[in-house]
Amino acid sequence: MKKILSALFVAVCCMAMAMPAQAQVSFGVKGGLNLSKMDAAEIMEWGYKDFKENSTGFFIGPMIEASVPIVGLGVDGALMYSQRGSGELKQQGIEIPVNLKYSIGLGDMAAIFFAAGPDFYFNLKDVDLATIEKNTAQVGLNLGAGVKLINHLQIGFNYQFALGNSFKFKNVKDIDVKNKLNTWQISLAYLF
């Protein structure tokens, strides 16, 4: 019995070591649309021009995906230029999402996936107004889903929850008001 358990343990260890060796790594390009929403009640009363409660931006950049085909688990990451917000509150920066992905195959040509993970944003554009202070680095949480088609094309929908404040304002009473920028993303990715 001891020999059987030892052989079984060795077989499980060999399979565990062989699994990462069979991981598929793909490189690609990812881009899409940012649909951001900010609480506008206190911002509007101060008269910031060009401010919209809902705003549209875009993102684009290279991505990498590593997945274990049999299990359906994988990790993807990207380094993207991203715009979100509007008017004086527009953010332009580098976004780095890192997601754990679970895929369910629907045959050889398609799969659906669910993804979650942290999102790191580094703001590159300063604001000219003394009353607005942008955070230079922000952390968020991604939750998303999508479809994979013909092993190369991915269409995804993602929601980013800001875990910290995106902006800080001084209002007319000289009181600090903090605000978060939450974003819906619609993405299209092509993996080589």
Q: Which residue has the higher pLDDT, 189 or 161?
A: 189
pLDDT tens digit sequence for 54-106: 788 999 999 999 988 778 899 999 999 999 877 667 788 999 999 999 999 88
pLDDT tens digit sequence for 125-155: 765 555 566 677 889 999 999 999 988 999 9
Length of the chain: 192
Whether the per-residue pLDDT at 15 is higher than 60: the answer is no
Whether the per-residue pLDDT at 50 is higher than 80: the answer is no
Q: Which CATH architecture has domain 24-191?
A: Beta Barrel (2.40)
Domain boundaries, the chain: 24-191
pLDDT tens digit sequence for 1-10: 555 545 545 5
What is the value of pTM for the model shown?
0.78
Q: How confident is the model at residue 114 (pLDDT cuts 50, 70, 90)?
A: very high
Q: Which pLDDT value is given to residue 156?
A: 96
